[in-house]
Amino acid sequence: MKNQVLSAYIQKAIDGFDQIPAERLPYLQAITEFVQEKINAKETINLTLICTHNSRRSHLSQVWTQVAAYYYGIKDVFAYSGGTEATALFPSAAQALTNAGLDIATLAEGGNPIYSIKYEAEQPAIIGFSKKFDHPFNPSTGYAAVMTCNHADANCPIIPGAKRLSLPFEDPKAFDGTDEQQAKYDERCLQIATELLYVFSKV
């Protein structure tokens, strides 16, 4: 990684591998196994990270999936995000990514802005905007649908064409409007980074 701020953040996340609670490991192992199966089959690895509003956890998970795959040299990985409804990428989630060292630029304004999220200068930008999981931007077959919140897991009983996996995270939205708001988004961002880096470290 040429981005020194991001490199330091990634190292901090890696240093936290031994702090991942044991009950989280089966969730992470299931994603590792999906990725390994696709590698063994020489197939493209598509993962769509899903939470209800596609505004917080799913975006953070999409970004860290892509960064983790790049960091560990796992090729042909493409991370997407979606929800059971579309809203917008929440500013505190975007700020948490900026604080981690990612370069975020606004490509289109409006009620549901479109962002370019860069982790390495020579790599394609991650395109971030809120959408339903079955939006045409996202894959429709052969992908893993990774549920990053319990509500989405309960309210998406069937996702055609996908292998369904769970990786639920606590919602930082609970702290919106409090003095702890950004700190909690930063905390959740680091947790998600740590766990997804762990996933790809085991491939």
Boundaries of every domain in the chain: 4-12+43-171+180-201
Q: What is the pLDDT of residue 140?
A: 95
Measured in degrees and rounded to the nearest 5, phi and psi for residue 124 equal -60, 145
Name which of 103, 107, 129 is nearest 118 in CA terms: 103
Helix (H), strand (E) at residue 57: helix 57-71
At the topology level, CATH places domain 4-12+43-171+180-201 in Rossmann fold (3.40.50)
Q: Are 188 and 174 in contact (CB under 8 A)?
A: no
Is a pLDDT exceeding 70 seen at residue 155?
Answer: no
Of 86-95, 118-127, 148-157, least confident by mean pLDDT is 148-157
Percent of the chain, pLDDT > 90?
Answer: 91
Of all residues in the chain, what percent are helix, strand and coil, respectively (each to 5)? 45, 20, 35
Q: In this predicted model, what pLDDT tens digit does every residue of 14-36 receive, in sequence order?
A: 999 999 999 999 999 999 999 99
User: For the whole model, what pTM was predicted?
Assistant: 0.96
Q: In this predicted model, what pLDDT tens digit does every residue of 70-84 receive, in sequence order?
A: 999 999 999 999 998
Pairing relationship of beta strands 126-128 and 114-118 according to DSSP bridges? antiparallel
Is a pLDDT exceeding 80 seen at residue 179?
Answer: yes
* Displacement of CA 114 from its chain's centroid (Å): 16
Write out 24-57 in H/E/C secondary structure: HHHHHHHHHHHHHHHHHCCCCEEEEEECCCCCCH
